[in-house]
Amino acid sequence: MKILLFGKTGQVARELCNRPNVTAIGRDTADFTKPKKIIEIVKSTDADIIINAVAYTAVDLAEDEFQLANIVNGTTVTEIAKVAAKRNIPFLHISSDYVFNGNGSSSWKTNDPTNPQNSYGRSKLIGESGILAAAGPYVILRTSWVFSSHGNNFVKTMLRLASNNPKLSIVNDQVGGPTWAVDIANTLWKIASDFYAGNGTTGIYHFTGKPNSSWANFAAEIFLQTEQDIKIEHILTKDFLTKAKRPLNSRLDCSSLKRDYGIEQPEWRKGLSNVLNNLT
């Protein structure tokens, strides 16, 4: 099985780079702001599977740079999907809970109506729509709250802030599933392997760690595992102003992934333990 992986330095990409028969292409070769160059790469690849782990992820900055976000997360993804579909190469793409409006308290199902509330979410939905329109073999894997030992993420931010602050104010009314990047990489690998074996199922799937948590409770677990006595003040989203609107409900129903691929939701606390062992 030969895999063409777009991305080298992102949290998930780093976990896929060192797997066998993976050709990982970084920004120096594949600049997602230039779709035409990406098209040529896909046209010439001899890969059996294409995985996209590239994304514009600066959620607040996307409110100003929405055109750039739309190109990276939307236009270029769509062009990859078109060429991959013509060549009948399965295309696996990572998307986000931000395609939903974030209301309510029920876990979002894969076929629930999308209605993103910020520019980042809208750019991710453009990419999803492009993949669906291309009508080739694909999997769109929506996930949330990604963390790892690499890059910028909530775990590393909490450790940094805790080093200088005995008390932190953290949002407690946003709820979702923290997800270890290694678990996402393992899931993509399983899906890719199934497609290579002729058993892949095209569709949109959800994948997050369990159980669901608020950001405040996620932080509390970080400090519990690192044995730090940090006082956490619970605050509301409305009291923590950001340029981009954040969803209150990021819960994702992952049942169809288990049904079609036999993939269970992992315990995120176990992933967190692995990450903290690497960081501390």
Measured CA to CA, the distance from residue 208 to residue 143 in angstroms comes to: 6
Number of Cβ within 10 Å of residue 101's Cβ equals 18
* Active-site entry in 98, 120, 138, 261: 120
- Sort strands 231-235 and 179-180 into parallel, antiparallel or unpaired: unpaired
Measured CA to CA, the distance from residue 107 to residue 90 in angstroms comes to: 28
183 close to 271: Cβ distance less than 8 angstroms: yes
DSSP state of 64: T
Q: Is 120 a catalytic residue?
A: yes
254 Cβ neighbours under 8 A, 6+ residues apart: 205, 206, 207, 208, 265
Measured CA to CA, the distance from residue 233 to residue 231 in angstroms comes to: 7
CA distances from 99 to 96, 115, 211, 274 (A): 6, 6, 21, 29
In degrees, rounded to 5, the angle at the alpha carbon of residue 102 between the alpha carbons of residues 100 and 104 is 120
DSSP 3-state assignment of 166? coil
Enumerate the active-site residues: 120
